[in-house]
Amino acid sequence: MDVTALTRYGRVRGRHGGGIAAFLGIPYAAPPFGARRMRPPRPPEPWTGERDATEYGDSAPQPGYVPPMSDLFPNLESPGDDCLNLNIWTPAPGRTGGGLPVMVWIHGGGFRYGAGSLPLYEGGRLAADGTVCVTLNHRLGPEGFLLLPDGTANLGLLDVIAALEWVQDNIAAFGGDPGRVTVFGESSGAISVVTLMAMPRARGLFHRAIAQSGAGHHTHTEDVARRLTARLAALAGVEPTAEALTAAAPQRLIDANAALGKELSAHRDRAVWGEAAGGVLTLLPVVDGATLPARPVDAIAAGAGADVDLLVGTNTDEFRFFLVPLGLQNLITDDVLRQVTAEYGLADEAGLATYRAARPGATPGDLLSAALTDHAYRVPALRLAEGRAAHGADTHVYEFAWRTPALDGTLGACHAAEIGFVFGNLSCGLTGETAPGDLSDQMRAAWTAFARDGRPGTAGGLLPEWPAYGTRRSVMRLGDGPPAVHHDPAAAERRLWEGIR
C-alpha cells in the first residue's frame, strides 16, 4: 500500500506493509557533481507533486569489492551522480509529533565503499522495535575525503551533517522526534560518529551516539593529508590542484586511491603517512582547523561532546577480517610479528609475551591479529570512555564475542560480525544460517533503549544491569554465553598501550 509524507522540499510516496512504511532514496542534498563537484553540499531542489520514494537512490561512486571480500560483503549496482540521499523506515508514517526516537545509520567501508541501501542495513526491524530508522549515503574516497589545495576538506562528513540537518527539519513528518536523534555507525561509520562529536557544525544535530568498531584516533593531520593528495594526484596523472582534481573523471581518482592503498601497504612509516601507513585506510577525516579543529579523541578528552550519550564497543577478533580472507593469517612468522608490532609501538618482547600468555597455542598470525585489534579498535574505544569520564560523562562499553561460521569459523568474532544482529537482518553478511536470534533480540533491545533514554540496560529484562565504564572499567560482553558485565577485561594487554595509543 502506498503512503505519503510531506517534507520541506515536496511530498514523497513510500510503501507501507507489515506495519512499517519505507521511504527510499529521498534526496537530502543536491547532486555533488558538475559545478558542485568537490564543493560543500547544497540543499536539493524542491519538486511538485509526489516524488516516488519506493526504490533506493544512487550510491556514491566507489571501486567495488573484489574476491574474497566480495564474498563477505555484496557490491552495489547503482552508483550515480544523485547519491546524496537517505532512506527511512517508520511505524508511524505521516503522524507528525509522533515523538519516536530516531536512529541515523552511517555505513562503514573504509571511507571508500558502501551505501545505506545494502540489504544488511534494511531498517524495518528497528522500526518495528519503536524507532524511526534512517540510513544514508555520503561521498566516498577522493570525492569525500581528499584535502584539496584550496583547503576544502571533510566533504563526506559535511554531507552527513547536511543529512542530519534534513532530519531535524523533516523527521517529524515521519513520526520521529528531532529532539531524540541517535547517530550510529560501524567501522568508518563509527569513526564518523565520533568525529561528528568533535565538529562544531554538528553540535545539537544529535543527542546520542553509538560507535561500533571505530573511535577517535583515525584522522589525518594537514601535513599527512597534503602528502596523500599530492601522491594520489601523481598516481592519477594530474596536477595536484583543485582545478585538475575536479576535472579528472571520478573513476580515475578511484583507481588512483586503490593504487595508493597498494603502495602504502609496503610503507608503514607512521611519521610520514600517519594512520594511512600500511594501506588499510588511505583517505580519512582531516584535522583542518576549520571543519574539524582537533583529533576527535583529543577533543573529547578536552570535553567536546560531553553532553552526548555514548555507547561504544568492539569485536573480540576485529583484525582477523583483514588477515584471514586474504590468506595472510597463516603467512605471519615470528619475525614478521615482531617487526609489525614494533612499528605500531610494541617494541619490547615483554609485550608479545603478554599476548602469548593469554593465548596458549596461538600462532604468530593469531597474536598479530590480537595486537592489531587492540591498536586499531579496542584501545581507541577505551580512550574515549576514559576521556569522557574526566568530564563526568558516562560511556557504556561492550565487547561482541560471537564467532561467525563464515570461512569455516576461521574469522572468529571479526570486524562487522555484529551488524546483522543490530539490524535484525540475520540472513545477510557474516551471520550465516545458525545465527542466534536471541542475541539479535538482546542487541536490538539495548540499542533501541539507548536511543530512547541513553541507557542500554533498560532493555526489557533481556540484559543484566549495564553500568557505565567508570572506575571499574565495566564492559558488557555479548555473544559468548549469557550477556555479562566484565570489569577491566584483558587488563594486561590494555596496559601495554599506555603512552602508545
Contact indicator for 246, 37 with CB cutoff of 8 Å? yes
Strand spans (E) along 75-175:
85-90, 100-106, 132-136
For residues 229-245, one letter each, b for 16 or more C-beta atoms within 10 angstroms of the residue's C-beta and e for the rest, the string is bebbbebbebebebeeb
pLDDT at 48: 97
What domains sit in the chain, N to C, each tagged with a CATH number? 2-220+285-301 (3.40.50.1820), 309-496 (3.40.50.1820)
Q: Is the pLDDT of residue 242 over 80?
A: yes
Question: Which of 324, 329, 315, 486 has its CA nearest to residue 402?
Answer: 315
* DSSP, res 248: S
d(CA 469, CA 378): 13
pLDDT at residue 487, as a whole number: 98
- Which neighbouring-strand residues pair with 221? 287
Contacts of 69 (CB under 8 A, 6+ apart): 325
Distance CA 30, CA 41 (A): 7
Active site residue 415: yes
Q: What percent of the chain has pLDDT over 70?
A: 99
Q: Tell me: pLDDT of 460 over 80.
A: no
Q: What is the pLDDT of residue 174?
A: 96
Distance CA 179, CA 156 (A): 24
Q: Please provide the average confidence, as pLDDT, over all residues in the chain.
A: 96
Checking if the pLDDT of 131 tops 90, the result is: yes
Confidence at residue 255, expressed as pLDDT on a 0 to 100 scale: 98
Closest CA to 262 of 286, 241, 232, 239: 232
Count the neighbouring beta carbons within 10 Å of the beta carbon of residue 349: 12
- Which is catalytic among the residues 415, 418, 440, 474? 415
Check residue 124 and give its pLDDT: 98
Q: Which of 122, 143, 186, 187 is catalytic?
A: 187
Tell me the C-alpha distance between 362 and 39, whole Å.
49
Q: Which of 166, 113, 164, 118 has the alpha carbon at shortest distance from 143?
A: 113
pLDDT of residue 96: 65
Q: What is the pLDDT of residue 91?
A: 96
Q: What is the rounded average pLDDT of the residues 101-120?
A: 97
pLDDT of residue 411: 97
Higher per-residue confidence, 64 vs 334: 334
CA distance 267 to 217: 19
What digits encode the pLDDT tens for the residues 355-392?
999 999 999 999 999 999 999 999 999 999 999 999 99
pLDDT in tens, 223-241: 999 999 999 999 999 999 9
Instruction: Quote the cell numbers at residue 92.
Output: 508511524
Q: What is the pLDDT of residue 70?
A: 84
71 pLDDT band (50/70/90 cuts)?
Answer: confident
Contacts of 232 (CB under 8 A, 6+ apart): 142, 146, 253, 256, 257, 260, 282, 283
pLDDT at 72: 84
Q: Using an 8 Å Cβ cutoff, are 260 and 235 in contact? A: yes
- Helix pair angle (364-373, 334-343), 10° resolution: 10
Residue closest to 489 by CA, chosen among 373, 387, 405: 373
The tens digit of pLDDT for each residue in 160-218 reads: 999 999 999 999 999 999 999 999 999 999 999 999 999 999 999 999 999 999 999 99
475-498 pLDDT, tens digit each: 999 999 999 999 999 999 999 999
Other CB atoms within 10 A of residue 326 CB:
11
Q: Is the pLDDT of residue 97 over 80?
A: no
State the catalytic residue, choosing from 318, 399, 418, 493: 318
> Which residue is it, cell 557490491?
75
- The grid cell for 382 is 577505551
pLDDT at 444 over 90: yes
Distance from the Cα of residue 182 to its chain's centroid: 14
Averaged pLDDT for residues 133-151: 97
Residue 40 preceded by cis peptide, ω within 30: no
For the chain, what percent of residues have pLDDT higher than 90?
91
